[in-house]
Structure 1
Amino acid sequence: MDTGDMDQLERSLLEAPIIQKGDYQYFVHPISDGVPMLKPQLLREIVIKIIRKAELEDVDKIVTPAAMGIHISTAVSLMTDIPLVVIRKRQYGLDGEVALTQETGYSEEEMYINDVSEGDRVLVLDDVLSTGGTLRAIIEALEYIGADVVDTVAVIKKAGPTELDETGHDVKTLITVEVEDGEVVIVEE
C-alpha cells in the first residue's frame, strides 16, 4: 500500500507493531500506549482533527481518563483555552469527588472525578474506543453529577460493537481499525 498520500495517523497505525496478548493481537501505538515515541507532527495532526470534529461551543471543561487521554487532552486544552479535568485512578477525598467503576474488556477498577459540577458543559476525550466500557462509565458518572456531555471524541476506534451503541450516545472518532493476520487494517464505517 502506498503511504505517500496518507495522513500521519493512518501511516502510524499501518506501521504499528503488533504483539500477541493471549489469544488477542494488539497494536502498539504512541496514542494508545505511549510507545513507540509520539512525534509532535502526529499529535498536532490529531489535535487539529479533534478541534475540527468536536462540538466546542460553550464547552466549560475537557474531561479525560488517566492515563492515555492526558497527552491528547492537554494539547487540545492548550489550543482551545478550555480547562482540563483528568479522571484519576487515585481517590483524593476532595469535596464533590465522584467515584465510578471503569470496566474494559481487560479489567475493572475504580476511578474518581473531581472539579465537575452540575450544569458544566463538558467535552469527553479519550485515546481509544474499544469495548466502550470506560466511556460509558464516564458518561454515566458525568450525567449523575448533572453535567451536560456536549460531545465525546476518541482518536481511534477498534472495529466492532461497543457498549455505547444502544445508549444513543454518539462517540466521534478519527479513524477505525482492526487487526487482521498480524496487521492493522483501516476500516471504513
Structure 2
Amino acid sequence: MSTCNNEDPRIHGIASSIRVVPNFPKPGIMFQDITTLLLDPQAFKNTVDLFVERYKGKNISVVAGIEARGFIFGPPIALEIGAKFVPLRKPRKLPGEVISEEYVLEYGRDCLEMHIGAVQQGDRALVVDDLVATGGTLCAAINLLERVGADVVECACVIGLPELKSALDG
C-alpha cells in the first residue's frame, strides 16, 4: 500500500492476499490480481481501514475513483471519511455532460471522463485506484480534477510497483 507505513502488521496480510498472475494479459506482464484480496474479508477491511485512518480528518470532500478498480475501494473510503464519491470513467460511459482528459500509455492513448459539476472549485480531492505503475492514469486524474479547481490532496493506491519509474516522480 503506497500510502501506508510498511511497519503496520496489516500490510503483510494485505500483500500476501494479492495473487500475481504471470503473462497476463500478455507475455511479460506480472498481473497483480486484487480479486483474491476481495475474497479475504479481513484483508479487504484492513485495506479500507488503513486508507480511512490516513484520510479521516484531512477535510477531503471528494474521493475520485478511477475505473474500474478504484470503484471498489473508493466508495467505502468516501463513506467512512464523509466525502462524496465521483467516478472517473473511460470514454462514453457517463451520461450527460462530461469533461475529458486524454493521456498517453505505453501502448497508445486513453481518456478519463468526469461529470461536469460533480467536483467544485475548492473541493479537496483524494484519487483512488488499485495500482500505480507508470503513473499516467493518476496524472490524468489529477489534471482532470485540477482543471475544475479541485485541490488534489493525494493519490491512494493499494499496490505500487517500485521497479517502474513513476510519471509522478516528475
TM-score range, shorter chain: 0.7 to 0.9
Q: How does 1:51-90 map to 2 (within 5 A)?
A: 51-54=52-55, 56-90=57-91
- Among 161, 165, 170, the alignment partner of 1:161 is 165
2:23 pairs with 1:20: yes
CA deviations on 1:11-39 (whole Å, 9 max, x unpaired) are 213xx242214442313422xxx357532
How many residue pairs get aligned? The number is 157
State the identity %: 25
Residue of 93, 96, 100 corresponding to 1:94 = 96
Which structure shows the bigger proportion of residues in helix conformation?
Answer: 2
Question: Aligned partners of 2:12, 2:129: CA distance in 1, in Å?
Answer: 20
What is the root-mean-square deviation in Å for CA atoms of aligned residues?
A: 2.5
User: TM-score with structure 2 length normalisation?
Assistant: 0.79
Q: CA deviation at 1:75?
A: 1.6
Q: Which moved more, 1:104-113 or 1:39-48?
A: 104-113
Runs of 4+ in 1 over 4 A off after TM superposition: none
Are positions 1:147 and 2:150 aligned together?
yes
Q: What is the alpha-carbon distance in structure 2 between the residues aligned to residue 68 and residue 74 of structure 1?
A: 11
Residues 139 and 168, structure 2, Cα contact 8 Å, conserved in 1 = yes
Give the number of the structure whose alpha-carbon radius of gyration is greater. 1
Q: Which residue of 2 aligns with 1:169?
A: none
With over 3 angstroms needed to count, the CA separation of the structure-2 counterparts of 1:56 and 1:156, relative to structure 1, is farther
SS at match of 1:62: strand
Distance 1:71 1:6, change over 3 A: closer
- Kindly provide the CA deviation profile for residues 74-120 of structure 1, in whole angstroms up to 9, marking residues without a partner as x: 2212322311000111434634x210114334553222112112221
User: Structure 2 regions of 5+ residues with no counterpart?
Assistant: 1-8
| Alpha-carbon distance, 1:125 to partner | 1.1
Judge conservation of contact 2:65–2:127 (CA < 8 Å) in 1.
yes
Q: Structure 1: which 5+ runs fail to align?
A: 167-189
Is the Cα contact below 8 Å between 1:56 and 1:123 reproduced in 2? no
Distance 1:102 1:55, change over 3 A: farther
Question: What is the DSSP-based 3-state SS (H/G/I as helix, E as strand, rest coil) of the residue aligned with 1:109?
Answer: strand
